[in-house]
Copies of this chain bind each other. A is one copy, B any other.
Amino acid sequence: MSETLLSSRNLAFELYEVLDAEALTQRERFAEHNRETFDAAITTARTIAEKYFAPHNRKNDENEPRYENGEAVLIPEVKPAVDAFLEAGFLNAARSFEAGGMQLPTLLSQACFAHFQSANAASTSYPFLTMGAANLIENFGSDEQKQRFLQPMIEGRFFGTMALTEPHAGSSLSDIRTRAEPAEDGTYRLRGNKIFISGGDHPLSENIVHLVLAKLPDAPPGVKGISLFIVPKFLVNDDGSLGARNDVLLAGLFHKMGWRGTTSTALNFGDNAECVGYLVGKPHHGLSYMFQMMNEARIGVGMGAVMLGYAGYLYSLEYARERPQGRLPDSKNPESAPVSIIQHADVKRMLLTQKAYVEGSFDLGLYAARLFDDTQTGETEDQRKLAHELLDLLTPIVKSWPSEFCLKANELAIQILGGHGYTREYPVEQYYRDNRLNPIHEGTHGIQSLDLLGRKLAQNGGAGLKQLVRLIADTCERAHAHESLSTLRQPLEQLVARLQSVTLELLTDLAQGKVTATLANSALYLKAFGHTVIGWRWLEQAIRAQEGLNTGNTADADFYKGKLQAARYFLTWEVPACHHELSILQARDDVCLSMQNDWF
Contacts and interface: CB of A to CB of B under 8 A. Distances in A.
Contacts of A348: 592-593, 595
Contact of A449 (B165, B340, B346, B439): B346
A580 interface: yes
B425 A254 contact: yes
Interface residues of A, number: 100
A68 interface: no
B591 A419 contact: no
A561 B591 CA distance: 12
A589 B577 contact: no
Nearest to A411: B436
Contacts of A440: 414-415, 418-419, 421-422
A153 interface: no
A573 B599 contact: no
A514 to B, nearest CB: 9
A167 B576 CA distance: 41
Contacts of A444: 415, 418
Given A335-B222, A562-B600, A593 B436 contact: no
Contacts of A513: 330
A494 interface: no
Interface string A301-330: 000000000000000010001001111111
A67 B481 CA distance: 64
Given A441-B419, A565-B599, A596-B561, A172 B591 contact: no
Contacts of A221: 334-335
A523 B345 CA distance: 10
A184 interface: no
Interface of A: 165, 168-172, 174-175, 195-196, 221-223, 254-258, 264, 317, 321, 324-330, 334-335, 338, 340, 342-349, 351-352, 355, 411, 414-415, 418-419, 421-425, 429, 432-433, 436-437, 439-441, 444-446, 449-450, 454, 513, 515-516, 519-523, 558-559, 561-562, 565, 568-569, 572-573, 576-577, 580, 583-584, 589, 591-600
10 contacts: A168-B325, A172-B326, A172-B327, A256-B424, A257-B424, A329-B519, A346-B592, A355-B600, A415-B446, A558-B596
Given A171-B326, A172-B338, A418-B440, 8 more contacts: A254-B423, A255-B425, A258-B422, A317-B600, A330-B515, A340-B597, A429-B436, A433-B433
